Amino acid sequence: MIIKLDAPIGRRVYVIADLSDGRLYVGSASGEAIGLWQRWSGYAHLKNLTGGNRELERMRSDLGDAHIVGHFQYSILEIFDPKTKAEVILARESFWKQALDSRHPHGMNAN
């Protein structure tokens, strides 16, 4: 587990897989600051584990923290140059949602 980060990880499109049922959540880190680390630290924080995602919050409420800790796998789908515009990254995120069928009802993406 990464505890401390001294350098930016950057802009990425990522997927979270629930290994218990195969459902996927596709997201992106397109911010100027520390990108992926900032996004994933929200999912890794033991007091939250959801990164503010509504579907993950519902799952946490229904299934508990142990489900997320024990069954979620985090992977990077695509890496971008730090100068890549946010619109490009968001378009690629949408592409991956379509390609992986991660939108409801098959996946965990609401949009």
How big is the chain, counted in residues? 111
Task: Give dist(CA 1, CA 64) in Å, integer.
Answer: 21
pLDDT of residue 51: 81
Q: Is the pTM of this model over 0.85?
A: no
Task: Find out whether 27 and 89 touch, Cβ atoms under 8 Å.
Answer: no
Task: Give dist(CA 66, CA 29) in Å, integer.
Answer: 25
Nearest Cα residue to 74 out of 13, 21, 3, 33:
13
pLDDT of residue 11: 87
Task: Find out whether 80 and 10 touch, Cβ atoms under 8 Å.
Answer: yes
Least confident of 1-10, 41-50, 63-72, 98-107: 1-10
Q: Domains (ranges, CATH) in the chain?
A: 12-100 (3.40.1440.10)
